[in-house]
Structure 1
Amino acid sequence: MANAVWHTGYGIEINLSLPDLGHPGRPDLLREIVASVADRDPQLLECLAHHDGRECLSESGGKSPWMFIRRGRVGGRRPLVASHLPITHKATPAESAQHKATKERVVETASRYGLEAEAEAPMANRRSISDALVTGPGGISVGWEIQYHHLGPSSVHRRSVNAVEHGITPLWVAKDRTASLIDRAPWARVDDMPWKDIATGKEMVIRGGYRHLQVWKCVPSSHRHCPDTEGAGHCGAMHAEWFLPALCHPEKKAVHLEDLVLQSATGDSVPVYVPNRGGGRAGRHMWVPVADCELWEELVGEAEPLADARAQESGDEITFAEDEIDRQCRAGEEGRFVSDARPVRDLDRPTGGLTLPRMPLRQARNPVLITSVERAAASAALGCPSWELGPCAECGQLMRRYGRNAAMFCGVCRAALNGR
């Protein structure tokens, strides 16, 4: 791992361990050097040893003295590291076969449903190619990106934004729970299957990346713990969280690859970006049923656009050790320094979510105004249409007051009244 590079454009040494990179008069320097190699001169950054006329181990090994910058992951720190080009992963024969079989299965599935489908479809600007482009009857275009090996998050984001700018919804497919593409753009995770199983139509369940919205009232009779008290009690408020199908109450049917091919193109399933509970920059991308998306937007407002949703973990902040420049070429050591185990990004636990404030108790001769957000949340939590909702005659909390199985008092108040 090199902690410094030579900038051929400015003719300067860059110390990656300093917050100002050793050049306080160049505030845009960091943004310039971390840009994708596809968007800059590949020979912009040079190995210091090569520039000084000393041996560059990468070049002597038949590779390149030119470099690129990325975030490393070393014992919980995120330093900037310089690595030699090319550093891209070359797919193994097994990965290539899996990739080809999945791509063909997406196209064949789309065609079977009567959708337009094309493999290796180029963007209008020819800068990117979708592994499979599926277009629905309403004009929704979904660009499937089968990514079974590691790809840096900046590349995922750049290619996703490029797709959106051309009217294409990106859909990234991974097989690894640690894949960097997870939550960088709309995604789905499938099992790591032999290519023959994929090609012969063996069941491909979407294991991650597809969720359902669950809304519930936080009372002792609820199936769920209170997310705000960490299971220590029940707060009486309405909660909304996103769950995997198997963790829903009642359990939802598993979503298969074929389901997502059809529903993403028809608009029955849509991508959303949900900030994490508690705020911050981090958040989650997911595919959800369109009805759940509409309810979510009614509860919290419009979802954040993909181009602005740069999901960044709290532990992704760059750290600067302020070391002296190491002038030795470290080619061959780069993997050892930056290959700490990648964290699991596809987690089973509920994500996103919000808590709606509990309605105040009804005051005599002073009825409480029920807002549209409270009505939508209660309707989802109680499983009844909104016109059947009304306030409990005792405490004023929303309940199923009209229609079939209606009552005047909520369960808590009924129990209290019966105990008198």
Structure 2
Amino acid sequence: MANPVWHTELQIRLDLTRPDLGHPDMPDLWERLRADKREPARRRGLRCAGICWDRGVEAYMYLRERNGLREAVHLSEAHQQLHFTPTSPEHKAYQERLVRTAEEAGHRAKTEVSSPGRRIRSDVLIEGAGGIVVRGEVQVSDVSAPNIAYRRRVGEELGYVQIWHTDKRDLSARSDTWWTRADVLPPEAILGRRDLEIRSGFRRLTWDRCGVLRGLPCPDRRSGYCGGLHPKHEPAAIGLDSLVRGASSGLLAPIEFQLTPTSRIHRIWVTAADRDRYLDGGGPASPEPEAAAASHASRGGPTCRPALCVGGCGRTVSLLDSTGSRRCWHCTQPARPQRPAGSCAWCGSTEGVRLYAAGRRCRSHTPAALAEAEEPGRDAYCPPRICWCGNCPHAGARQARDH
């Protein structure tokens, strides 16, 4: 099966299994894309639209033809290996377990679901109660921190409640996402009916009165005592099935816990009641109303609490922009002008534009012009010395349809 390819300049998807690449309105597209081989492969704008795309990897490709078969080849061997990484039996067993648990609880669940735009692909996607969408990710192999950060960020933008499950201690010790960990088990035990105990990732929140009996200085003042209540988290027992059912029904929720605004972020799972109490208190080290009255502190929430961007993008901001309003960086950028269809991808001109391997270019920005080299045939031919348009002025120009 041929690998799907995305052309970044033309904004089209190429299907190598079809003679016209899936675009009958663009004749001889295959020959045009392979015409100018002097252009570096990374500047031709061809990217893998398969597994690399699903995993958020920017993998460049080039086209070739072998024994009459058209192929799209990765430039990097590491990107090529992503297509041959087998799914372990333990990974498949965890997927089946999550789907079974969700369906027995009355929810709908699917495996290997791609997000809109194919930005990420979820191992399991559960449609829970009240419009809750739970994304289950199983990670039983090593993975880089940037990869996890990208997939978690996209999941947050899509509004997913994310369960990241692993059996590796080094992964569960990180705080780059909401990790839960169980023991290393064979597939038969994972698929069994006994609930798998979560060793880390689920916590119970408690609040201690800030005073001499607490034995620790106030996390806000860094010294002394304020008399208020400060939250902390402690290990709590729960099973994997109970976690899935609770997340799908809204009884359990993930939070980002900070003891102080400058301390380390802990991404943990807690009960919905603990989450509401934690957030209602304003986040880290915010006393309850009763404690605030006793310590003569303000009853209002913290003034540094992030607010939604007024631009309507849904992002949270905590600083004012130059106009004095809460607007994120993305909404302060000027809108990019829309170029007319068929214009030069370099400058936007519509005069003398032709299709090259690097996209549509005018005469001033052809690959040869940018390289300060002479045009093939002194601009008398379509590149490379074969006429594609049928209007070349030179009488000896060979026509592409004859080859």
TM-score by length of 2: 0.50
Q: Compare CA radii of gyration and give the structure with the larger one.
A: 2
